[in-house]
């Protein structure tokens, strides 16, 4: 169902959970063509390619396409970005660019020199409800933003082994919320305070990480942001944002599969929140791809940028340090 205009040839690197989403969205996109999928796990790549009527390609081939979506494991990101940039490709990379800020800076410098568009996968910016918050805030609907509250809870914890290698809850999970904070505050936080606990899975605690955490950000203008994270939520993937401004409030809540409400002697009951990011952010992933394709084909700005990725990482680093030392950190 490709349209009649120019199509962007896109290769997808990585056939895991997130690679599958992006590959499917490319295959369905009226302005793109999925040139193929590559993954060291040949079976995974074949599974994705076959389901989409596409092909398995080599990594080299992937770097030969006009654009590339990098959905491979985190440690490969920076290298792949550099290789793609050097090859002159437009690059979309899942977050994070790298867990090490210095490595990120070096990578972004390569991109800068190559002059190619780079977009980082902070998908939540494209959620219709969250995007609407930003738009309405910019339109002045609630005046000046004074307090921002972000609630972000995963339905269940990852394996403790994953937690250990993920860079910790702040770099792995809260980084999304820190990016949303920047996106909505439209100003850089200057002070970060974080606390963490291990309440959900003791193994996560033994691995040196937290599964329950709170972050407080403050900006130069005095706006305050509170983020609450948990690695569990029995009622679905809990993703809410509230903005308190000088003349009003804006908030976006959870999405549900249906609008059905049931009533009985136990009260009135609605659906749980959608189970996890694949469902909750389905529309966001599509809009994110729209933006990437438009950036390449139409020359619109590619955002969130690599710089956005770096800033969010620096905040996550600060939160990690704050939770460890027990002291606020200036950034």
State in angstroms the smallest separation of the CB of 198 from a copy of itself: 7
DSSP string, 89-103: -EEEEESPS-SSHHH
Helix (H) or strand (E) run with residue 225 in it: strand 224-230
Q: Does 220 bind a copy of itself (CB under 8 A)?
A: no
Residue placing its CB nearer to a copy of itself in the complex, 116 or 142: 142
State in angstroms the smallest separation of the CB of 233 from a copy of itself: 7
CB 226 within 8 A of CB 219: no
Closest CA to 211 of 255, 243, 167, 169: 169
CB 201 within 8 A of CB 211: yes
Q: Residues 146 to 165: which contact a copy of itself by CB under 8 A?
A: 146-147, 149, 151, 153
Report how far residue 251's alpha carbon sits from residue 162's, in angstroms, rounded to the nearest whole number: 32
Position among 115, 260, 298, 299 found at the interface with a copy of itself (CB under 8 A): 260
Position among 20, 22, 24, 311 found at the interface with a copy of itself (CB under 8 A): 24
By CB under 8 A, which span of 76-84, 116-124, 139-147, 163-171 interacts with a copy of itself? Answer: 139-147
Q: Does 27 bind a copy of itself (CB under 8 A)?
A: yes
* β-pairing verdict for 32-38 and 8-13: parallel
Q: Does 6 bind a copy of itself (CB under 8 A)?
A: no
DSSP string, 29-67: -TTEEEEEEE-SSHHHHHHHHHHTT--B--HHHHTTSSE
Q: Residues 58 to 117: which contact a copy of itself by CB under 8 A?
A: none
Q: Does 228 bind a copy of itself (CB under 8 A)?
A: yes
Position among 87, 252, 278, 297 found at the interface with a copy of itself (CB under 8 A): 252
Q: Does 190 bind a copy of itself (CB under 8 A)?
A: no
Q: Does 250 bind a copy of itself (CB under 8 A)?
A: yes
Residue placing its CB nearer to a copy of itself in the complex, 214 or 293: 214
By CB under 8 A, which span of 23-31, 79-87, 169-177, 298-306 interacts with a copy of itself? Answer: 23-31
Q: Does 46 bind a copy of itself (CB under 8 A)?
A: no
Residue placing its CB nearer to a copy of itself in the complex, 102 or 246: 246
Position among 64, 103, 136, 305 found at the interface with a copy of itself (CB under 8 A): 136
Q: Is 307 helix (H, G, I), strand (E, B) or coil?
A: helix
Position among 58, 162, 249, 301 found at the interface with a copy of itself (CB under 8 A): 249
Residue placing its CB nearer to a copy of itself in the complex, 38 or 212: 212
By CB under 8 A, which span of 90-98, 233-241, 302-310, 311-319 interacts with a copy of itself? Answer: 233-241
Residue whose tokens read 């250990």: 164
Integer-rounded Cα radius of gyration of the chain: 20
Report how far residue 327's alpha carbon sits from residue 283's, in angstroms, rounded to the nearest whole number: 39
The residues, ordered by sequence, that sit 6+ positions from 253 with a Cβ below 8 Å of its Cβ are: 129, 240
CB 190 within 8 A of CB 220: yes
Measured at the alpha carbon of residue 81, what is the angle toward residues 25 and 41, in degrees to the nearest 5?
60
């Amino acid at each position: 169902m490709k349209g009649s205009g120019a199509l962007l040839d896109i290769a997808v690197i990585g056939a895991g959970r997130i690679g599958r989403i992006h590959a499917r969205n490319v295959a369905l996109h009226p302005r793109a063509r999925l040139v193929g999928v590559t993954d060291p796990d040949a079976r995974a790549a074949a599974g994705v390619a076959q389901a989409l009527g596409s092909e398995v390609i080599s990594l080299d081939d992937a770097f030969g396409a006009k654009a590339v979506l990098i959905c491979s494991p985190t440690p490969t990101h920076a290298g792949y970005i550099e290789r793609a940039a050097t090859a002159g490709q437009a690059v979309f990379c899942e977050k994070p660019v790298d867990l090490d800020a210095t490595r990120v800076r070096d990578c972004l410098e390569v991109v800068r020199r190559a002059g190619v568009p780079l977009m980082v996968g902070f998908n939540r910016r494209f959620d219709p409800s969250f995007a609407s918050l930003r738009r309405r805030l910019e339109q002045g609907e609630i005046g000046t933003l004074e307090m921002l509250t972000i609630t972000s809870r995963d339905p269940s914890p990852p394996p403790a082994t994953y937690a250990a290698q993920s860079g910790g809850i702040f770099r792995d999970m809260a980084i999304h919320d820190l990016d949303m904070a920047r996106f909505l505050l439209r100003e850089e936080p200057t002070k970060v305070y974080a606390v963490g606990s291990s309440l959900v899975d003791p193994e996560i605690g033994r691995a040196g990480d937290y599964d329950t955490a709170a972050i407080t950000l403050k900006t130069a203008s005095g706006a305050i942001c509170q983020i609450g994270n948990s690695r569990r939520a029995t009622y679905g993937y809990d993703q809410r944002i509230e903005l308190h401004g000088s003349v009003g409030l804006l908030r976006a809540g959870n999405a549900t599969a249906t609008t059905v409400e049931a009533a009985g002697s136990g009260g009135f009951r609605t659906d749980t929140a959608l189970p996890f990011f694949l469902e909750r952010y389905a529309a966001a992933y599509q809009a994110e791809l729209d933006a990437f394709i438009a950036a390449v084909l139409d020359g619109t700005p590619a955002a969130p940028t690599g710089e956005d990725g770096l800033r969010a990482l620096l905040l996550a680093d600060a939160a990690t340090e704050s939770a460890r030392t027990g002291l606020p950190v200036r950034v």
